[in-house]
Structure 1
Amino acid sequence: MGVTHPKYKVAVVQAAPVWLDLDATVDKTIALIEEAAANGAKLIAFPEVFIPGYPWYVWLDSPAWTLGRGFVQRYFDNSLSYDSPQADKLRDAVKRAGLTAVLGLSERDGGSLYIAQWIIGPDGETIAKRRKLRPTHVERTVYGEGDGSDLAVHDRPDIGRLGALCCWEHLQPLSKFAMYAQNEQVHVAACPSFSLYDPFAPALGWQVNNSVSQVYAVEGSCFVLGPCATVSQAKIDEMCDSDSKHALAEG
């Protein structure tokens, strides 16, 4: 008998988190997991740092402004620790749904934050925890660096060989090669929203990120899922205190 390939439905999230509200965003994440399961999905992929949302404020003004507006402490306080009641709720929800979830979150560990992806299996157990190796540009004012030990592909009987990276990790040839070399079959390319890059920084815009996802699929001979968040009006209203910032955030 030849090689067989499982066929299954996936859910790729394009939604806005409840900005800077850990508990509410965890509840929304659970609702999306339940919706995906109700529609027959076996795998759900979430955007980069969906919990508690991407810190767009770092692109809008100086670090002093972000401190003065209180964003730095609030973001830290609303990031997610692995050993927390909110994390337990997420794992329980994945187990009830009976699917595999690739979560995107700001992970709080000690005094540092990390751009993290947790892969949770249908039994509610953690398959993998990984951290973005090198935060992009001003993201480094918020997040620490990963160590590369988690550039791994995970063989799942119901999903195939599953891996994940975040955003501009898809522009790093050696990171990609590390994944390709492990015979990846399904890849989650998690990104934040892309509201404020156009038109002055096309290298950071959605066109480039769509293109690198397509290249990843071709180079890696794998399926690529591209979850991407949206920006809520509530988030814009809170972050933007000038017309120029409104124009950036709204694209």
Structure 2
Amino acid sequence: MRLEGKTALVTGASQGIGRAIALRLAREGARVALGVRAPDARSDELLALLRQDGAAACAVAGDVGVAADCRRLVAETVARLGRLDLLVNNAGIERRAAFLDATEADYDAVLATNLKGPFFLTQAFARHARERGGGGRIVNVGSVHEELPFPHFASYCASKGGLKTLMRDLAVELAPLGITVNNVAPGAVKTPINAQLMAQPALLRALLANIPLGRLGTPEDVAGAVAFLACDDAAYVTGASLVVDGGLLWNYAEQ
């Protein structure tokens, strides 16, 4: 129960990595706010599961690509759960397109969710932390593509590369408030965003050949890394990007 007495807000919490993070943080003792675009059957099911396990939990709805919604998500979490100690910026999207065919609308959508959202959510979180006397943890769910080129996903790579640099900058700027800021950078993980890949055996085999551990990651693999960075075991870790990829990053070759 390393997070007993703490409150966390997890964005993109209704499925995949976000769902696993919410469950893991609750099992570590945290109160959990599920940040979702809009409540639906998935978030309702997760909320029921958390409460069944004895966790204090709620769902807060908003578009992380809108700064006013970011501020409201933090304010509503504080109003409903009493305070906020941990922010997990997990919500993310991608749009596949050759660079010469990429549209402004797709670029704006990806950057708004993946980079603008964490910027303004972190700002709202840090203001709250300052008001309550300081201290806190911010964990961003980045990607190996903060380092690794990903042809046909230029906007996604730009957003994750930007998130890594933003994390490093804020680790320095927010340290006087006692706030640590780190990234978890997953590789290929079994989530809905990779459903098309997992449905194509030839593509999956080619990818697995690039992963030294020989398997896709699971959402729980990522959740464990987030839980570590959120707890006191990582109190002296800030400005770091923890890669969770089975060795993919330094073994990858584009086919």
Give the TM-score taking structure 2 as reference length: 0.35
- Bigger helix fraction: 2
